[in-house]
């Protein structure tokens, strides 16, 4: 294993439609875990869903509410939350932007992000991307809660 250094502003950027994801350390860099820097604009993110991977959020700046299994938690700078695999989750940013780190124990989330970035056109309106995003999510074991009619 070699030393991996990622300084401020470095790392591949991925467009996930609801945020810009900068890969600070991939599993290839670390031999296992991954670290992403997420820059999300004001408003809701992806609808409530469950991922097959564990993740942790550490807030750098901004404020957002994360909904975990129906419970709301207000997060600001310095806050951390561990989200076990299979937990229903989403978040809503309340400031112009929120920047936070996401830690994952393996490369599953990174593979998901990379597929979204590689397949979904960055200039496509969000409603037009829903079928593509749904197909990608199902391939990676991400499940969405049923939305009320």
H or E stretch covering 127: helix 126-139
Nearest 5°: the CA angle 51, 53, 56 is 100
Question: Which pLDDT does position 149 carry in this prediction?
Answer: 44
Short-list 51, 67, 46, CA closest to 142: 51
Q: What does the block give as tokens for 93?
A: 């940013």
The fold of 13-143 is Jelly Rolls (2.60.120)
Provide the residue-wise pLDDT of the chain in tens; the chain has 149 residues.
689 989 898 999 999 988 999 999 999 999 999 999 999 999 998 889 999 999 999 999 999 999 999 999 999 999 999 999 999 999 999 999 999 999 999 999 999 999 999 999 888 887 788 889 889 999 999 998 865 44
Tokens of 105: 């124990």
Instruction: Note whether 67 and 108 are within 8 A (CB).
Output: no
- Answer yes or no: are the C-beta atoms of 25 and 33 closer than 8 Å: yes
What is the per-residue burial (b if ≥16 Cβ within 10 Å, else e) of 2-19? eeeebeeeebeebbbbbb
What per-residue confidence (pLDDT) applies to 131?
87
| pLDDT computed for residue 104 by the predictor | 98
**Backbone phi, then psi, for 48, in 5-degree steps?**
-50, 130
Residue 62 is predicted with a pLDDT of 98
Sequence ranges of the domains in the chain: 13-143
Give the model's pLDDT for residue 147. Answer: 53
| Predicted TM-score (pTM) above 0.75 | yes
């Amino acid at each position: 294993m070699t030393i991996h250094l990622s300084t401020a502003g470095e790392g591949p950027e991925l467009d996930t439609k609801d945020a810009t994801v900068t890969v600070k350390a991939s599993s290839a860099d670390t031999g296992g875990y991954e670290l992403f820097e997420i820059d999300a604009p004001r408003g809701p993110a992806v609808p409530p869903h469950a991922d097959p991977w564990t993740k942790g959020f550490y807030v750098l700046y901004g404020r957002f509410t994360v909904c975990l299994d129906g419970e709301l938690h207000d997060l600001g700078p310095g806050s951390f939350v561990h989200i076990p695999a299979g937990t229903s989750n989403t978040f809503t940013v309340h400031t112009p932007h929120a920047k936070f780190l996401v830690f994952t124990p393996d490369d599953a989330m990174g593979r998901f992000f990379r597929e979204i970035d590689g397949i979904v056109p960055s200039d496509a309106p969000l409603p037009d991307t829903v079928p593509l995003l749904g197909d990608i999510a199902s391939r990676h074991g991400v499940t969405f809660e049923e939305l009320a009619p």
